[in-house]
Amino acid sequence: MRKSQTVLLSTMVALLVAPSFSLAQNPNNIDVQASRLTEALRKAAPNQRPNDGMYSPWQVLPGIIPSWTKQCLGKEMTPQQFDTDENAARQTVNCIVKRELNNQWKSVKSEQQAVRNVACWWMTGKYQGCNQGATANYVDIVIKYYQKAQ
């Protein structure tokens, strides 16, 4: 067998027997991760109450909705429009979650830590500090829903 054939054969065998990479090792699957985290955030959100100041099943603050929808959908939406259009809300939240997850992936190189940080950020606006009390409970619930979707 010639050297080039041996190298090719060795490479093929290595690819066949190598363990498959998890999502954490392959940031190209960020779309899958973002979709799972978007759904986990929805499921972990407190129930909507009339006039609670939050919008959509993801409980988004009204002040950020116009800029997020402009960035993600190409058009500004009012909080009321966002609240009544679950598809637009989902697309917007997924877009923002994908952005934040991608940034965290680059920073921590760990799927679980990136998801944890983004869940913390979603609730508090900060990536760290959700290790006790209500914020820790919320992040744990998000992680649980995220893992169930695997």
| Percent of all residues in the chain with a pLDDT value above 90, rounded to a whole number | 73
Residue 62 neighbours by CB under 8 Å, 6+ apart:
53, 54, 55, 79
User: What are the tokens at 89?
Assistant: 């809300």
pLDDT in tens, 24-56: 454 568 999 999 999 999 999 987 666 678 899
Structural contact between residues 112 and 144, judged by C-beta atoms closer than 8 angstroms: no
Q: What is the pTM of this model?
A: 0.79
- What confidence category does residue 86 fall into, taking pLDDT thresholds of 50, 70 and 90? very high
Question: Of residues 7 and 72, which shows the higher confidence score?
Answer: 72
Predicted local confidence at residue 48, as pLDDT: 67
Mean pLDDT of 103-109: 94
Quickly count: other Cβ atoms within 10 Å of residue 85's Cβ: 16
Give me the residues paired with residue 60 across strands: 55
